[in-house]
Amino acid sequence: MTPALQTSELSRSYGRLVALESLSVTVAAGECVALIGANGSGKSTAVRAIAGLLELSGGWVRVGGYDPHREPEAEDARAALSLVPDAPVLYDDLTVRHHLQLVALSHDVAGDDVEARIDALLARLGLTARADFLPRELSRGTRQKTQLACALIRPAALLVLDEPVVGLDPPSQALLHELLIERKRAGTAVLLTTHQLTFGDGLADRAVRLEEGVVVDEGPWAEVREGVKGHGWASP
Amino acid sequence: MGVAVAARPAAAAEQRLARVRAWWRVRNPPRTLLQRLDLLYTGALVSAIFGALAYGTASSALAQVVTPHWLAATGPALALLALLLTSHWGVYQGPVVFSVADVAHLLGAPLPRRGLAARRLMLALAGGAAAGAIAAGVVIVGLAGGGRGIAAADAAGLALGLAELGILGVAFAWAVESSDRWERAAQRATWPTILAAAGLAAAARAGTAGREIALWSGPWGWGVQPAAGAGDLQSLAALLLLTLATAVAARAAVRGCGHAPAERHLRRAEARASAVVALASYDARRARRALETVGARDGRHGARLRRPRTPALAIPWRDTVAALRTPGRIVEGAALAGAGTVLALLEADRPVAVLVAVLVVYLGAARTIWPLRAELDLPARARVLLLPRLGQVLLAHAAVPVVVTTSAAALAAAGCAAAGALPTHGAAAALLAVAGTPMLCLCAGMSARREGRLPPSLLALAAGADPSGGGSLMSAWLAFWPAVAATLGAVPILLAAAPVVAVAWTLMATAVLVALLARD
Q: Please report which confidence band the pLDDT of residue B3 belongs to, taking 50, 70 and 90 as the band edges.
A: very low
Is the Cβ of B419 closer than 8 Å to some Cβ of chain A? no
Instruction: Measure the CA–CA gap between A233 and A197, rounded to whole angstroms.
Output: 9
Interface of A with B in 1-20 (CB under 8 A): 1-4, 15-16
Which residues in chain B are contacts of A136 at CB distance < 8 A? Answer: none
CA-based radius of gyration for chain A:
17
Instruction: Measure the CA–CA gap between B272 and B294, rounded to whole angstroms.
Output: 9
Confidence (pLDDT) at A236? 47
Q: Do A75 and B13 touch (CB under 8 A)?
A: yes
Confidence (pLDDT) at B335? 92
Q: Half-sphere exposure of B477 toward its Cβ, with a 13 Å CA cutoff?
A: 21
Establish whether the linkage from the previous residue to A72 is cis, with ω within 30° of 0: yes
Nearest alpha-carbon partner for B70 in B183, B214, B182, B175: B214
Give the distance from residue A199's alpha carbon to the nearest chain B alpha carbon, in angstroms: 24
Q: Write out pLDDT tens, residues B33-89.
A: 898 999 999 999 988 888 888 887 888 888 888 888 889 889 999 999 999 999 999
Beta strands across the sheet bearing A214-220: A58-63, A5-14, A17-27, A214-220, A206-211, A32-37, A189-193, A158-162, A81-84
CATH of domain A5-89+157-231: 3.40.50.300
Q: Is residue B295 pLDDT above 80, yes or no? A: no
Residue A141 neighbours by CB under 8 Å, 6+ apart: A167, A168, A169, A172
Indicate the average pLDDT of chain A: 91
Instruction: Measure the CA–CA gap between B203 and A67, rounded to whole angstroms.
Output: 52
User: Are β-strands A158-162 and A81-84 bridged in parallel, bridged antiparallel, or unpaired?
Assistant: parallel
Residue B91 neighbours by CB under 8 Å, 6+ apart: B176, B177, B183, B186, B187, B294, B295
Q: Do A71 and B259 touch (CB under 8 A)?
A: yes
Q: Please report which confidence band the pLDDT of residue B4 belongs to, taking 50, 70 and 90 as the band edges.
A: very low
Is the Cβ of A195 closer than 8 Å to some Cβ of chain B? no
Pick from A105, A106, A187: CB nearest B3 = A187
User: Are β-strands A158-162 and A189-193 bridged in parallel, bridged antiparallel, or unpaired?
Assistant: parallel
Confidence (pLDDT) at B388? 67
Three-class DSSP labels, B149-188: CCCHHHHHHHHHHHHHHHHHHHHHHHHHHHCHHHHHHHHH
Grouping H, G, I as helix, E, B as strand and the rest as coil, residue B424 is coil
ipTM of the complex: 0.91
How far the first Cα of chain B sits from its last, in Å, is 68
Confidence (pLDDT) at A187? 94
Residue B367 neighbours by CB under 8 Å, 6+ apart: B329, B332, B333, B336
Q: Write out pLDDT tens, residues A36-53.
A: 998 889 999 999 999 999
Is the Cβ of B386 closer than 8 Å to some Cβ of chain A? no
Phi, psi of B435 (to 5 degrees): -65, -25
- CA closest to B18 among chain A residues: A106
Which residues in chain B are contacts of A107 at CB distance < 8 A? Answer: 109-110
Instruction: Measure the CA–CA gap between B363 and B332, rounded to whole angstroms.
Output: 10
Q: Do B109 and A16 touch (CB under 8 A)?
A: no
Instruction: Judge contact between B507 and B500, C-beta under 8 A.
Output: no
DSSP labels, B344-368: HHHTTT-HHHHHHHHHHHHHHHHHH
Residue B486 neighbours by CB under 8 Å, 6+ apart: B355, B358, B359, B362
- CA closest to A188 among chain B residues: B3
Q: Half-sphere exposure of A84 toward its Cβ, with a 13 Å CA cutoff?
A: 29
Ranges of beta strands (E only) in A120-182 are 158-162
User: Are β-strands A5-14 and A17-27 bridged in parallel, bridged antiparallel, or unpaired?
Assistant: antiparallel
Residue B192 is given by DSSP the state: H
Q: Do A78 and B109 touch (CB under 8 A)?
A: yes
Instruction: Measure the CA–CA gap between B355 and B359, rounded to whole angstroms.
Output: 6
Give the distance from residue A58's alpha carbon to the nearest chain B alpha carbon, in angstroms: 15
Q: Is residue B104 pLDDT above 90, yes or no? A: yes
DSSP labels, B390-404: HHHHHHHHTHHHHHH
Confidence (pLDDT) at B1? 41
Pick from B2, B23, B104: CB nearest A101 = B23
Is the Cβ of B101 closer than 8 Å to some Cβ of chain A? yes
Is the Cβ of B105 closer than 8 Å to some Cβ of chain A? yes
Q: Do A31 and B1 touch (CB under 8 A)?
A: yes
Q: Kindly state the helix (H) or strand (E) to which residue A224 belongs, with its residue range.
A: helix A221-228
Q: Is residue A28 pLDDT above 90, yes or no? A: yes
Which residues in chain B are contacts of A89 at CB distance < 8 A? Answer: 100-101, 103-105
Instruction: Measure the CA–CA gap between B77 and B210, rounded to whole angstroms.
Output: 12
Which residues in chain B are contacts of A78 at CB distance < 8 A? Answer: 108-110
User: What type of residue sits at position A186?
Assistant: A
Q: Do A72 and B112 touch (CB under 8 A)?
A: yes
CB pairs under 8 A between A and B: 117
Instruction: Measure the CA–CA gap between B504 and A152, rounded to whole angstroms.
Output: 75
Establish whether the linkage from the previous residue to A236 is cis, with ω within 30° of 0: yes
Cα-based distances in Å from B126 to A235, B167, B341: 59, 7, 41
Which residues in chain B are contacts of A132 at CB distance < 8 A? Answer: none
Confidence (pLDDT) at B497? 86
Q: Do B3 and A15 touch (CB under 8 A)?
A: no
Give the distance from residue A51's alpha carbon to the nearest chain B alpha carbon, in angstroms: 8
Q: Please report which confidence band the pLDDT of residue B427 belongs to, taking 50, 70 and 90 as the band edges.
A: confident
Q: Is residue A113 pLDDT above 90, yes or no? A: no
Q: Kindly state the helix (H) or strand (E) to which residue A193 belongs, with its residue range.
A: strand A189-193
Alpha helix positions (H), B66-112: 68-92, 100-105
Give the distance from residue B277's alpha carbon to the nearest chain A alpha carbon, in angstroms: 14
Q: Do B100 and A3 touch (CB under 8 A)?
A: no
Interface of B with A in 243-262 (CB under 8 A): 258-259, 261-262
Indicate the average pLDDT of chain B: 87
Q: Please report which confidence band the pLDDT of residue B385 belongs to, taking 50, 70 and 90 as the band edges.
A: low
Confidence (pLDDT) at B2? 42
Is the Cβ of B26 closer than 8 Å to some Cβ of chain A? no
Can you tell me the mean pLDDT for B460-482?
A: 79
Q: Please report which confidence band the pLDDT of residue B296 belongs to, taking 50, 70 and 90 as the band edges.
A: low
Backbone torsion region of residue B487, taken as left when φ is above 0, otherwise alpha when ψ lies between -120 and 50, otherwise beta: alpha
Residue A161, beta-bridge partner list: A84, A192
Q: Is residue B377 pLDDT above 80, yes or no? A: no
Backbone torsion region of residue B338, taken as left when φ is above 0, otherwise alpha when ψ lies between -120 and 50, otherwise beta: alpha
Higher pLDDT, B140 or B458: B140
Interface of A with B in 92-151 (CB under 8 A): 92-94, 98-99, 101-103, 105-108, 150
Instruction: Measure the CA–CA gap between A197 and A216, rounded to whole angstroms.
Output: 17
DSSP labels, B295-309: H-----TT---PPPS
Q: Do B298 and A16 touch (CB under 8 A)?
A: yes
Instruction: Judge contact between A192 and A32, C-beta under 8 A.
Output: yes
Which residues in chain B are contacts of A30 at CB distance < 8 A? Answer: 1
**Which of B1, B3, B116, B178 has the highest number of chain A CBs within 10 A, making it the mutation to test binding with A?**
B3
Interface of A with B in 196-215 (CB under 8 A): none
Q: Write out pLDDT tens, residues B232-291.
A: 889 999 999 999 999 999 999 999 888 889 999 999 999 999 999 888 877 778 888 888
Poorest-pLDDT segment among A26-35, A217-226, B274-283: B274-283
Q: Do A2 and B109 touch (CB under 8 A)?
A: no
User: What type of residue sits at position B221?
Assistant: G
Is the Cβ of B280 closer than 8 Å to some Cβ of chain A? no
Instruction: Measure the CA–CA gap between B472 and B466, rounded to whole angstroms.
Output: 7
Confidence (pLDDT) at A58? 94
- CA closest to A109 among chain B residues: B16
Q: Write out pLDDT tens, residues B203-237.
A: 988 888 899 999 999 999 999 999 888 788 899 99
Length of chain B: 520
Every domain of chain B and the residues it spans:
50-260, 310-518
Nearest alpha-carbon partner for A220 in A2, A46, A34, A38: A34
- CA closest to A108 among chain B residues: B16
Cα-based distances in Å from B433 to B341, B345, B423, B480, B501: 7, 8, 13, 21, 14
Can you tell me the mean pLDDT for B108-119?
A: 92
Confidence (pLDDT) at A15? 79
Three-class DSSP labels, B113-133: HHHHHHHHHHHHHHHHHHHHH
User: CA angle B436-B339-B355, nearest 5°?
Assistant: 55
Q: Write out pLDDT tens, residues B316-333.
A: 898 898 888 888 889 889
Instruction: Measure the CA–CA gap between A91 and A122, rounded to whole angstroms.
Output: 18
- CA closest to B16 among chain A residues: A106
Q: Is residue A91 pLDDT above 90, yes or no? A: yes
Which residues in chain A are contacts of B183 at CB distance < 8 A? Answer: none
Instruction: Measure the CA–CA gap between B129 and B137, rounded to whole angstroms.
Output: 12
Is the Cβ of A154 closer than 8 Å to some Cβ of chain B? no
Which residues in chain A are contacts of B13 at CB distance < 8 A? Answer: 72, 75
Instruction: Measure the CA–CA gap between A220 and A146, rounded to whole angstroms.
Output: 31
Confidence (pLDDT) at B464? 73
Length of chain A: 236
- CA closest to A187 among chain B residues: B3
Instruction: Judge contact between B382 and B374, C-beta under 8 A.
Output: yes
Q: Kindly state the helix (H) or strand (E) to which residue B316 belongs, with its residue range.
A: helix B314-325
